Amino acid sequence: MGIHMGRFAATMEGSFVVFIIGMRVNRWLAVRKWLPVARAMPRMMKELYQDKEHGFLHAEYFIGRNGPMLVQYWRSFDDLERYAKNGFHKETWRKFHQTGKAGEVGVYHETYRIEPGQYEAVYNHMPAFGLGKAGQLIPADASYHSARQRLNHSKVGG
CATH architecture of structural domain 16-114:
2-Layer Sandwich (3.30)
Instruction: Please give the pLDDT value at position 156.
Output: 60
Residue 73's closest CA among 137, 133, 139? 133
Query: Mean pLDDT of all residues in the chain?
Result: 90
8 Rama class: left (phi>0) / alpha (psi -120 to 50) / beta: beta
Sequence-distant (≥ 6) Cβ neighbours of residue 135 within 8 angstroms: 10, 11, 12, 13, 16, 57, 73
The secondary structure element, H or E, covering residue 79 is: helix 77-84
Residue 94 has pLDDT above 90, yes or no: no
Q: What is the residue extent of each domain of the chain?
A: 4-12+117-154, 16-114
Please tell me the pTM assigned to this model.
0.90
- What mean pLDDT do residues 140-148 have? 90
Question: Per residue in 18-41, pLDDT tens?
Answer: 999 999 999 999 998 888 888 888
23, 105 in Cβ contact below 8 A? yes
